């Protein structure tokens, strides 16, 4: 994974560094396992096999874990009115964030028919992508899922104090050894080295989606990598959404869907009893949910 | 076994559909149980005061006042030691036979002191405990010891428990200075606890006790019981956590059988309800039903000699016989309420009240023993505990 990954453990029982390192290694092993299993870049991954069969009559049988993730994707698609769609990765073919090129309408219209989870034939055990060129990927929640699973591995090794941070997708194992909370900074959407707020957690998870992770600007307009699967266009209502939830996959999905919801984001987050904060493009912070005051501290710090 | 602990932030109690979907993914939340295998990180002290009063119509009987202290100290990451001390002061009138309302009671006053200590060693995925206990009152001394072990599965979703215990009791009587009797009991226990889902915990325990010695009640006449007793107990528990309501339903079923001929069933339910961040309110209801021991006799007395002897007692004496109400056929209902208040992160106070009533006619699926007055009891317990 091409982002900063961090596992932090507090040695509450005086077990020594080697015991903690062993636990962390097992957790890193779990992250790697998920990365390999669901990589789009490895021909032998389940995702590649499903994508390779797109448009053919072949149905691809999946293992239980993949089935759970596909079911989760189905639920997210339904609960987001189709905004969270694991078939929307085909938009990468026409959006080049490195070159900073806005696709021609004809290009977009070429790929939009390939998007739509509701087209996919998924029966709980086998999956088939009906059109050639369709593809799925778990980029929308894979990293968050890995953070959750890595936390569970740490728990199984007997560790109780620490967290897993995979590029800002954070799952807390438990509080610091003295019982106090971990404090996580939330990146300022326009100042890469600064934070705009901080969140304290003793358990649960924190995930952030923002318009600053991959983007380019053309003609005074910002084009970010969060793309609406219905229009193929980048979102532009919020600069960032940070959500705390019991699990990182939930926090990640809620923050991404909130970005896609635009003006309806606050209503959507309230409906889902989410907690956290959203930052608009003028860098104004709106708190959401019933997060106790001391948990979120606003203020820019470098 | 600790109560259900879903390790979710409090606000997840009203989680939305996306959070619920995420939590159903495999391996995303840690097992619901706070399973064994790690030494507790903090010590605990709890002080309780129990008041017990039982009664039958127009007659207050036994009254118990029992302060107790419990202390648990983690010695190192691998070891913990815990101990408790309780002092019961019992006073009141105890029946000499059956319920015997008509003045045939003995005023008694007694004090019992009991202590126990338990040392536990924690290993990865297992723990081992040695426990010793002593209980003493002027006419009854008991010494017991036990070994137990618990083993967790790799995913911590299942725990096996096994245990063996031994108790040596000495029985005497203030009524009969020549009475010096003993009773020895061996106990075997095995059980399994499974975290079924993130919100369900299921437990099955089997206990088998085998004892020999003096089982008669020296304060009852006539009372002659077998000198061997075997007891088999099946205990099942199911805890279900309703995360959207911040509550847990704890249900139990227990089956008991012994060679005295008693078969008993208990069903119980407790609803543990969090109210805000500080309060926990737990109403509970329990129903118990048992058949009589084979040698229990109803309060029907010899027409010539009279109470407490059953007809024919002197012409054809039975091998075993007892008028003990506890060996009769009856049903009983317990209703209780516990309220706990978390004063701070470390201090908790609680109060618990229970009302128990036992009647022959409440026996399930059959006639209970006739001729016994209803028996009622009230428990009130105050407690304060702190972690350090």
Domain that includes residue A101, residue range: 57-128
B5 lies in some domain = no
- Residue with more model confidence, B38 or B239: B239
B189 lies in some domain = yes
**What digits encode the pLDDT tens for the residues B43-55?**
899 999 999 988 8
A→B interface, C-beta within 8 Å: 12-15, 64-65, 68-69, 72, 75-76, 79, 145, 148-149, 151-152, 155-156, 158, 160, 179, 201, 203-204, 244-247, 249-250, 253-254, 257, 271-275, 289-291
Q: What is the CATH number of the domain that holds B352?
A: 2.40.160.40
Q: What percent of chain B has pLDDT over 90?
A: 52
Q: Which residue in chain A is spatially nearest to B156 when comparing CA positions?
A: A156
Contact: A155, B16; criterion CB under 8 Å = no
- Which of residues A128, A148, A172 is at a domain's end? A128
**What digits encode the pLDDT tens for the residues B356-379?**
999 999 999 878 888 888 889 999
Across A40-50, average pLDDT: 90
- Which of residues A128, A150, A165 is at a domain's end? A128
A141 lies in some domain = no
Across A71-93, average pLDDT: 94
Q: What is the CATH number of the domain that holds A273?
A: 3.10.520.10
* Closest in B17, B23, B39 to A246, CB measured: B23
Contact: B7, A244; criterion CB under 8 Å = no
Q: Are residues A102 and A192 in the same domain?
A: no
A219 lies in some domain = yes
CA pair distance A138, A134, nearest whole angstrom? 14
Domain that includes residue B23, residue range: 10-387
- Give how far A178 is from chain B: nearest CA, Å: 10
pLDDT at B16 over 50: yes
Contact: B22, A250; criterion CB under 8 Å = yes
A91 lies in some domain = yes
Which pLDDT belongs to residue B289?
Answer: 96
Which pLDDT belongs to residue A17?
Answer: 86
Chain B CB contacts of A75 below 8 Å? 17-18, 21
pTM (predicted TM-score): 0.58
Chain B CB contacts of A294 below 8 Å? none
A150 lies in some domain = no
Across B267-272, average pLDDT: 96
Please, what is the Cα angle at B95 between B91 and B98, to 5 degrees?
155
Q: How many distinct structural domains can be found in chain B?
A: 1
In residues, how long is chain B? 388
Q: How many distinct structural domains can be found in chain A?
A: 2
**What digits encode the pLDDT tens for the residues B75-94?**
877 889 999 999 988 887 76
Q: Are residues A186 and A124 in the same domain?
A: no
- Residue with more model confidence, B40 or A19: A19
Query: Which of A17-21, A163-167, B370-374 tops mean pLDDT?
Result: A163-167
Which pLDDT belongs to residue B3?
Answer: 34
A135 lies in some domain = no
- Rounded to 10°, the helix A142-156/A17-37 angle is 150
**What digits encode the pLDDT tens for the residues B142-180?**
999 999 999 988 766 788 999 999 999 999 888 788 889
Which pLDDT belongs to residue A4?
Answer: 77
A156 lies in some domain = no
A280 lies in some domain = yes
A18 lies in some domain = no
Q: What is the CATH number of the domain that holds A113?
A: 1.10.3980.10
B1 lies in some domain = no
From residue A211, give the alpha-carbon distance in Å to each of A269, B137, B336: 18, 76, 56
């Amino acid at each position: 994974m091409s982002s900063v990954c961090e596992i932090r453990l507090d040695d509450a029982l005086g077990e020594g560094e080697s015991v903690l390192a062993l636990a962390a290694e097992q957790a890193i092993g779990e992250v790697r396992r998920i990365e390999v299993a669901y990589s789009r870049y490895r021909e032998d991954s389940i995702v590649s096999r499903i994508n390779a069969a797109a448009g053919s009559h072949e149905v691809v049988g999946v293992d239980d874990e993949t089935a759970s993730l596909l079911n989760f994707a189905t639920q997210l698609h339904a609960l987001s009115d189709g905004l969270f769609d694991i078939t929307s990765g085909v938009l990468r073919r026409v959006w080049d964030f490195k070159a900073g090129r806005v696709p021609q309408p004809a290009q977009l219209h070429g790929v939009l028919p390939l998007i739509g989870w509701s087209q996919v034939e998924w029966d709980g055990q086998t999956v088939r992508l009906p059109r050639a060129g369709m593809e799925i990927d778990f980029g929308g929640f894979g990293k968050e899922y890995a953070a959750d699973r890595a936390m569970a591995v740490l728990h199984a090794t007997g560790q109780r104090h620490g967290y897993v941070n995979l590029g800002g997708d954070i799952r807390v194992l438990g509080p610091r050894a003295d019982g106090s909370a971990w404090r996580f900074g939330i990146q300022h959407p326009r100042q890469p080295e600064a934070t705009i707020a901080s969140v304290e957690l003793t358990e649960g998870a924190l995930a952030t989606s923002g318009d600053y992770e991959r983007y380019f600007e053309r003609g005074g307009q910002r084009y970010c990598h969060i793309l609406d699967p219905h229009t193929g266009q980048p979102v532009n209502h919020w600069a960032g959404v940070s959500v705390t939830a019991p699990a990182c996959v939930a926090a990640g999905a809620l923050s991404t869907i909130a970005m896609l919801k635009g003006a309806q984001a606050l209503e959507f987050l309230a409906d889902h009893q989410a907690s956290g904060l959203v930052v608009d493009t003028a860098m104004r912070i709106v708190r959401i949910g019933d997060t106790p005051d001391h948990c979120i501290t606003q203020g820019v710090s470098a | 076994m600790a109560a259900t602990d879903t390790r979710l932030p409090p606000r997840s109690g009203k989680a939305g559909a996306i959070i619920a979907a995420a939590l159903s993914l495999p391996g995303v939340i840690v097992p619901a149980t706070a399973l064994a295998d790690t030494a507790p990180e903090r010590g605990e002290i709890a002080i309780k005061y129990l008041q017990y009063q039982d009664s039958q119509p127009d007659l207050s009987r036994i009254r118990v006042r029992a302060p107790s202290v419990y202390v648990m100290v983690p010695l190192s990451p691998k070891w913990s030691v815990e101990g408790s001390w309780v002092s019961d002061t019992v006073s009141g009138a105890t029946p000499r036979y059956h319920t015997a309302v008509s003045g045939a009671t003995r005023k008694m006053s007694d004090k019992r002191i009991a202590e126990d200590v338990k040392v536990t060693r924690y290993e990865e995925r297992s723990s081992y405990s040695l426990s010793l206990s002593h209980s003493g009152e002027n006419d009854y001394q008991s010494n017991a010891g036990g070994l137990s072990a618990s083993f967790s599965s790799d995913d911590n979703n299942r725990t096996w428990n096994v245990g063996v215990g031994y108790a040596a009791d000495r029985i005497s009587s203030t009524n009969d200075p020549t009475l010096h009797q003993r009773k020895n009991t061996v106990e075997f226990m095995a059980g399994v606890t499974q975290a079924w889902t993130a919100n369900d915990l299921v437990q099955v325990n089997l206990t088998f006790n085998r004892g020999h010695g003096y089982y008669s009640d020296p304060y009852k006449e006539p009372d002659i019981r077998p000198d061997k007793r075997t007891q088999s107990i099946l205990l099942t528990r199911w805890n279900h956590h309703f995360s959207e309501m911040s509550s847990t339903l704890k249900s139990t079923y227990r089956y008991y059988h012994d060679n005295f001929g008693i078969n008993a069933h208990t069903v119980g339910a407790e609803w543990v309800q969090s109210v805000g961040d500080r309060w926990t309110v737990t109403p509970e209801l329990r129903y118990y039903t048992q058949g009589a021991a084979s040698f229990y006799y109803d309060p029907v007395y010899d027409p010539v000699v009279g109470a407490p002897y059953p007809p024919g007692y002197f012409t054809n004496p039975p091998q075993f016989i007892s008028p003990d109400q506890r060996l009769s056929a009856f049903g009983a209902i317990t209703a209780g309420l516990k309220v706990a208040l978390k004063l701070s992160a470390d201090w908790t106070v609680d109060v618990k009240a229970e009302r128990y009533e036992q009647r022959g006619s409440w026996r399930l699926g059959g006639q209970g023993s006739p001729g016994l007055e209803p028996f009622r009891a009230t428990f009130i317990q105050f407690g304060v505990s702190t972690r350090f």
